[in-house]
């Protein structure tokens, strides 16, 4: 019986030791899973910091909303400034167009968000130039102005002009005007000698001074899409359209 008791006690001790090992293995496995998750998050953070893009992983939608509300409160004293979109609404625009900047202060890595603001004291209108050629049927040639760009941005008081590129206009259009981050210079009207502004102002003298005419051979009619369902047609000979 003594031997049996000793054997049972040893078995119980062994089972207890194995349970303890299993518990410790579970703790170790849980720790490994946590480390894997933390490393994954760290990799995502590093990728975000490298590209300068704001992601929900770096700043959750709830945190971003709170940051924007705090920024909105900070600028209340500046009546001409406001956020480009309601911080309580969809946040995709902020995630897409807010830049992330990092800096190191002492032993801390600081993550800064560059939040765009709108100055409502100055507004701009965006115009698209349709450079439709004029035809000379007898000579079989077309004439058109050599414009500096396809688009013209004009301040509300007509005192400043800008020449945006295609990507600027696409961004402005997709965001319904909320994030028009034009990467071009703003020029005062007194220092602009552009053909496109001369045509915009319908200034005959400025057009003669600033506009060069491009001439090319034209043997067929041509059409020009002006947006939506609007087309312009230039013809060498009179035509009849059936609509």
194: CB partners within 8 A, 6+ apart: 148, 161, 163, 210
The three-class DSSP label of residue 128 is strand
Q: What is the mean pLDDT of residues 88-107?
A: 82
pLDDT on residue 68: 92
* Cβ-defined contacts of 169-172 (< 8 Å, 24+): 169/126, 169/128, 171/97, 172/126
Model pTM? Answer: 0.57
Residue 67 belongs to what H/E stretch?
A: helix 61-74
Q: How does the average pLDDT of the chain come out, rounded?
A: 79
pLDDT on residue 62: 93
Q: Compute φ and ψ for 54, nearest 5 degrees.
A: -90, 130
Q: Which two tokens stand for residue 39?
A: 């490393």
Q: Which two tokens stand for residue 231?
A: 């087309």
Q: What is the mean pLDDT of residues 147-174?
A: 84
pLDDT in tens, 216-242: 887 777 777 777 778 777 777 777 766
Give 128's strand partners: 151
* Helix %, strand %, coil % of the chain (to 5): 40, 25, 40
pLDDT on residue 176: 62
pLDDT-wise least confident of 16-30, 65-79, 122-136: 16-30
197 close to 163: Cβ distance less than 8 angstroms: no
């Amino acid at each position: 019986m003594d031997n049996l008791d000793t054997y049972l006690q040893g078995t119980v001790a062994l089972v207890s030791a194995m349970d303890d090992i299993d518990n410790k293995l579970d703790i170790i496995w849980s720790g490994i899973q946590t480390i894997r998750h933390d490393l994954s998050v760290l990799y995502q953070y590093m990728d975000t910091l490298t590209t300068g893009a704001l992601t929900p992983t770096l700043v959750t939608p709830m945190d971003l909303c709170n940051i924007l509300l705090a920024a909105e409160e900070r600028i209340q004293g500046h009546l001409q400034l406001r956020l480009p979109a309601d911080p309580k609404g969809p946040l995709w625009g902020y995630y897409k167009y807010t830049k992330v900047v990092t800096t190191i202060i002492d032993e801390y890595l600081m993550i800064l968000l560059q939040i765009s603001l709108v100055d409502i004291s100055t507004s701009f209108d965006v115009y698209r130039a349709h450079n439709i050629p004029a035809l000379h049927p007898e000579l079989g040639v077309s004439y058109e102005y050599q414009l500096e760009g396809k688009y013209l941005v004009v301040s509300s008081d007509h005192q400043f002009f800008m020449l945006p590129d295609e990507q600027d206009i696409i961004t402005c259009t997709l965001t319904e005007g909320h994030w028009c981050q034009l990467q071009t210079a703003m020029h005062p009207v007194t220092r602009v000698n552009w053909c496109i502004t001369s045509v915009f102002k319908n200034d005959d003298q400025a057009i003669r001074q600033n506009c060069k005419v491009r001439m090319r051979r034209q043997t067929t009619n041509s059409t020009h899409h002006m947006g939506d369902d609007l087309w312009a047609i230039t013809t060498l000979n009179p035509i009849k359209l059936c609509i």
